[in-house]
């Protein structure tokens, strides 16, 4: 993995995936930061984890079920009060379909 040093092109690709518009100076500094972090995390490869199961969660096992009852009050007006742009009871967005 040592050769996985990140290129500017990769930084741009990741920024597209993450929906982040980066300036060229941000691209350059993030390339350096990511490169340093990826070099650092390479140390994980010192460990043989072939037979080690991954830990995704450390909570107690199982997902509890509950009745699907509505418990919250309708607060449409309060929700919409936070909308950057609204029209009547809708969130307003740029036109997506021609």
61 makes contact with other proteins (CB under 8 A): no
Q: Quick check: helix, strand or coil at residue 76?
A: helix
Binding to other proteins in span 19-58, by CB under 8 A: 19-22, 26, 30, 33-34, 36-38, 40-41, 43-47, 49, 52-58
Strand ranges, E, within the chain: 86-87, 90-91
Q: CB–CB of 40/63 below 8 Å?
A: no
Nearest distance from C-beta of residue 66 to other proteins, angstroms: 5
How many residues contact other proteins, by CB under 8 A? Answer: 54
Using CB under 8 A, list all residues that contact other proteins. Answer: 1, 4, 6, 10-11, 13-15, 17-22, 26, 30, 33-34, 36-38, 40-41, 43-47, 49, 52-60, 63-64, 66, 72, 75, 78-79, 81-85, 91, 93-94, 96
């Amino acid at each position: 993995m040592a050769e996985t040093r990140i290129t500017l092109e990769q930084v741009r690709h990741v920024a597209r995936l993450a929906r982040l518009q980066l300036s060229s100076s941000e691209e350059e500094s993030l390339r350096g930061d990511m490169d340093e972090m990826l070099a650092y995390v390479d140390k994980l490869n010192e460990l043989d984890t072939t037979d080690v199961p991954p830990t995704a969660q450390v909570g107690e096992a199982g997902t509890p079920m509950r009745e699907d009852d509505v418990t919250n009050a309708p607060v449409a007006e309060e929700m919409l009060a936070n909308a950057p742009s609204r029209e009547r009871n809708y969130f307003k967005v740029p036109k997506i379909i021609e």
